[in-house]
Structure 1
């Protein structure tokens, strides 16, 4: 198995789990908070898709699906197009609302762009430096694994919240 195939498999698990966790949920269920400052399923799935979209598009050198495919306008959230959820306040988290179908569609579109990019990544390219603001600098491989790990964390949280709300 090539590194690109391994990463593709990992990201495939994210899109499968992410679409499953929102399936059949109402907007009320998607935005329900299990605690006063808890993240909602809608925010968690939106955020994991936004992080993947923003991070992969940056290293791939292409425009984010969020803007290029019109999802920013379709979601109609009260944030700028650069927002990914990082550093958002509890109030901002509560403003993320979208139907399950739209969340799943955006996640699938982001996944498709990720897989297209990974199809062209050779093993040696994973050592390419993509962010020199860190010590040590971040390679492409580290960045992709970091995105995958962040997505998996948020997917697990969304599944946990779904269980807590009894859906």
Structure 2
């Protein structure tokens, strides 16, 4: 197994976790808030998909699935097309009120474009420095692993929130 195969496996685990967090969940479950300012399952999954889409599109030098695939219009959110959720207010979190099918559809579209991109990479590509603003400089491989870590964390948070929401009824 090479590095690209490992990345493909890891991104597959994100997809599995996202499906577990959203499949069959009602809009009420997806928008449950543990307190007035807490994130929701819907926002967490939207955010993790947006970050993955944004970062992988930048690495691949292509348009984001969010705009290219018409997902921005399908979601109809009151955000700029470039929004990924970083710095969102409590009201902005609450604005992400969509159903499980839409969330899963967007994530799966992002996942498909991610896998297509990963399949083009060589071992040497993963060592390309893509961001010198950090010490040490960030390589393509490090950025891809960073997205995995962030996405898995948010998917786990979404699964926990779903469980709490369903237990509370």
Report the TM-score, using the length of structure 1 for normalisation: 0.97
- Counterparts of 1:5-154 in structure 2, within 5 Å, are 5-154=5-154
Cα RMSD of the aligned pairs, angstroms, is 0.9
Task: Spell out structure 1 runs of 4+ moving beyond 4 A.
Answer: none
Partners of 2:134 and 2:73 lie apart in 1 by 33
Q: Indicate if the aligned counterparts of 1:127 and 1:140 stay in contact, CA closer than 8 A.
A: yes
Contact 1:19-1:107 at 8 Å conserved across structures: no
The 10-residue stretch of structure 1 (50-59 or 12-21) with the greater mean CA deviation from structure 2 = 12-21
- In the aligned structure 2, how far is the partner of 1:155 from the partner of 1:140? 23
Gaps of 5+ in 2: none
Q: CA deviation at 1:128?
A: 0.4
Kindly indicate whether the alpha-carbon contact (under 8 Å) linking 1:8 and 1:115 is maintained by their aligned counterparts in 2: yes
Q: CA deviation at 1:135?
A: 2.1
Equivalent position of 1:162 in the other structure: 162
SS at match of 1:156: helix
Determine if contact 2:20/2:159 at 8 Å carries over to the other structure: no
Q: What TM-score do the two structures reach when normalised by structure 2?
A: 0.96
Cα distance in 2 for partners of 1:70, 1:133 equals 32
Equivalents in 1 of 2:23, 2:136: separation in Å?
40
| Distance in 1 between residues matched to 2:156 and 2:17, nearest whole Å | 9
Distance (Å, rounded) in 1 between the aligned partners of 2:46 and 2:94: 12
Q: Find the aligned partners of 2:21 and 2:92 in 1 and give their Cα distance.
A: 22
- Per the TM alignment, residue 136 of structure 1 is displaced from its structure 2 partner at its CA by 1.9
**How many aligned residue pairs are there?**
167
Worse-superposed segment, 71-80 or 131-140: 131-140
1:131 deviates by 1.3
Q: Deviation at 1:20? A: 2.1
